[in-house]
Chains A and B, each alone.
Chain A
Amino acid sequence: MNEKELIKKIESEFGIKAEKQRDRRIWVTVKRKRLMKLCRFLYEENFEHLSAISVTDFPEEKVYELTYHLWSYRDKILITVKTKIPRNKPEIESVTPIWGESAQIHERELHELFGVKFNGNPDLSPLFLEDWNKEPPFRKDFNWREYVREEYYDEKNEREKPYFV
């Protein structure tokens, strides 16, 4: 199957617009409710490899954009599925029932760094940040420099003054 056939299939099945970015690259934007359906459909279309899940933070629009990169070994196509979730209540269904372990570790990391809750993921315990009790550090409104100054440095210390410039 080539890109054109796949785009046609997605458009006829879901009624959403898929866009050919360049050779063998497709972008699809989908509503949160229909994400699982689309993922199942793509998995059955031989997109067995979930390369990455990533979150982009848009504080002005108050949304997180989730991006799923899927690769098909048979067709050699990389498809990028995007979906938006509200920033103040970041919850989404987990794709672990479809891709298993490879989805699990990505979701665990994103839960830690952005606070996105993936419903259905069996283990969302902290991965890198043990004993972290602040807000998730990768959110754009988290001022990490301010946090570090408060936590680690003393302005009155002569040696540490340059950190406060």
Chain B
Amino acid sequence: MVSKAKKLRRLIRSIWVFNWFNSCGFTELIPVVGSRWDMERFGMIVTGTPRHADVLFIAGYQTLKSIKRAKRIYEQMPEPKVVIALGSCTMTGGMYWDSYNTIKRLEDYLPVNLYIPGCPPRPEAVFEACEKIFKHVLEMKDE
């Protein structure tokens, strides 16, 4: 019987992305969607539902209320799943480090695979992160 990791290795040509962005988070990733940087040429497509997604992009500061929704989105995604956090807000709280309402480190709430620092991160950094996902799948071991 072919193992799950092997199957994946054979299948993976593209990654489907689900976006969960707060505040300025989406404007950070717009250049990646646009024609100049164009993420679709690398096989990255934004899906409409977390149930079809392999990768979860989280950007912008997360509030106490929205982190609950982010957790539910994460739970709805099928295995194997990858979480990528963009921007300094998800790492340290960014400019909202002393806000009563934002969470400071995303890794306290969700298992984050990759952080992309920057405010906003450059599109090249996003692509490099995605290349690392492909590598991650190729190096994946059977459980």
Contact = CB atoms under 8 A, between A and B. Distances in A.
B56 to A, nearest CB: 21
A153 B63 CA distance: 17
B10 interface: no
A137 B100 CA distance: 8
Contacts of A147: 100
Nearest to B97: A163
B36 interface: no
A125 B95 CA distance: 29
Main secondary structure of the interface of B (DSSP, over half): loop
B97 A130 contact: no
Chain B contact-residue range equals 10 to 19
B23 to A, nearest CB: 13
A152 B101 contact: no
B6 interface: no
B65 A128 contact: yes
A134 B64 CA distance: 14
Interface of B: 63-65, 68, 93, 97-101, 104
25 contacts: A128-B63, A128-B101, A129-B64, A129-B65, A129-B101, A130-B64, A130-B65, A130-B68, A131-B64, A132-B64, A137-B100, A137-B101, A142-B100, A144-B98, A144-B99, A144-B100, A145-B98, A147-B100, A148-B97, A148-B100, A152-B93, A152-B104, A153-B104, A163-B97, A163-B98
8 interchain residue pairs of minimum CB distance: A144-B100, A145-B98, A152-B104, A137-B100, A148-B98, A130-B65, A147-B100, A128-B65
Given A128-B63, A132-B64, A153-B104, 20 more contacts: A128-B65, A128-B101, A129-B64, A129-B65, A129-B101, A130-B64, A130-B68, A131-B64, A137-B101, A142-B100, A144-B99, A145-B98, A147-B100, A148-B97, A148-B98, A148-B100, A152-B93, A152-B104, A163-B97, A163-B98
